[in-house]
Amino acid sequence: MSELISKHAGRSDFERQLLATASALVLVGYIASASVAKAEDTDRPTVWIELGGQMEAVQGNSAPFVAPFMTAISPTPDVYSNSIFLANQRPAKLAFGAEGSLSFQPEGSNWIFSANLRFGRSQTNRHMHKQGPIATDIPYPSYPTFIRYFYAAPFADGKGSNDESHSILDFSAGRDVGIGVVGANGTSVISAGVRIAQFSSSSNVNAMGRPQINLFPSIGFRGVMTFHNYTMVAHAARSFRGIGPSLSWNASAAILGNKDEGELSLDWGFDGAVLFGRQKAKVDHTTQAYHLPTPAAARYPWYQYRYYAKTYEHPHQVTRSRSVAVPNLGGFAGFSVKYPNVKFSVGYRADFFFGAIDAGIDERRAKNLGFSGPFATISIGLGG
């Protein structure tokens, strides 16, 4: 009996030793793996600073100013045309800007906290002038070679300037969900936060025109002609400022290379927001018409202005302001070359803000505002 007890006791001691040894090995392996993971995590930068620039096409500019005299028929349509007045009001095709962001990912965490600012601006100044030949009097019957000039000609002259700026500021907190569809070295970050946007634009127009000149036979030494001169001065200032919640998904998948020696990645992302803010528009324009009636003596310029008569003046001014909710959708796609502490990225991005701008003249007209174009950035990692 004692021998049997001894055998069982020895067997139990052996099992306990075996269990203890296995436990020790598991513990050592866990500590080793944790140390390796911690070392790898320590090698990862905790702060990324990104700087870049973009070139964007702006969609959704304000409507042009159009007065009745801009479409008047002239004996020289190639000189006097409403296209002259509209062409000088065209805004810039492209806006250029800069962007910067700061992101922070604590050691041992999948959470990423970031702030991003984008800014863009465009400006234009145009002046277009076209003029026909100076009008001449009908020759005297007794002096067929005698021609008298009236120092007046049909013309169209337009000046226009546009200034547009936009800025978008984002604060977000996201987590790398690691859904596995982007590969071992890929990332998939879902973020929520706050977006602040500000859009503003202003335009100025100065238009003058003399559509045509009507000549009549000379009476003695007096030349007879009539014409109308028209002018328009206009200004518009529009803006939107809003803030609201945002949601985004940014992903990256490695294509070539490795993270130690450098890798090429495919990047893409989508974002959306709803901005609550104030939409404003201030518009004023004045159209005037002057008439040089017959039988004004028009041989000399000072006679012309002496007989000028104002036929009408139409001033108009309106200020509109209202609270609006503006949906926003956007996305990007591109490529990046990433090293442990440096990253270069290029791509194409688009953002659309629905009903953001009041583009009307005399009445409100909500219009979508969009920005789309290529961008390039460089990122530097710090810490770790």
For 67-85, write each residue's pLDDT tens digit: 877 765 444 445 555 577 8
- Quick check: 377 and 50 in contact, CB under 8 A? yes
Candidates 176, 179, 182; CA nearest to 41 is 176
Residue 218 has a pLDDT of 55
CA angle 179–182–186, rounded 5-degree value = 100
Residue 144 has a pLDDT of 58
N residues, the chain: 384
Mean per-residue pLDDT, 321-331: 95
Helix (H, G, I), strand (E, B), or coil: what is residue 29?
helix
- Quick check: 267 and 314 in contact, CB under 8 A? no
The C-alpha atoms of residue 154 and residue 135 are separated, in whole angstroms, by 8
Residue 60 has a pLDDT of 79
Q: What's the sign of the alpha-carbon dihedral 183, 184, 185, 190?
A: positive
The C-alpha atoms of residue 374 and residue 83 are separated, in whole angstroms, by 31
The DSSP annotation for 289-349 comes to EEEE-TT-B-SSHHHHHHT-EEEEEEEEEEEEEEEEEEEEEEEEEEEEEE-SSEEEEEEEE
Q: State the CB neighbour count (10 A cutoff) for residue 58.
A: 22
- For residue 179, pLDDT over 70 is answered with no
Residue 330 has a pLDDT of 95
Mean per-residue pLDDT, 127-146: 68
% the chain with pLDDT above 90: 42
- Quick check: 99 and 168 in contact, CB under 8 A? no
Q: With a threshold of 0.95, does the pTM exceed it? A: no
CATH architecture of 47-382: Beta Barrel (2.40)
- Tell me which amino acid residue 219 is: I
CA angle 98–101–105, rounded 5-degree value = 165
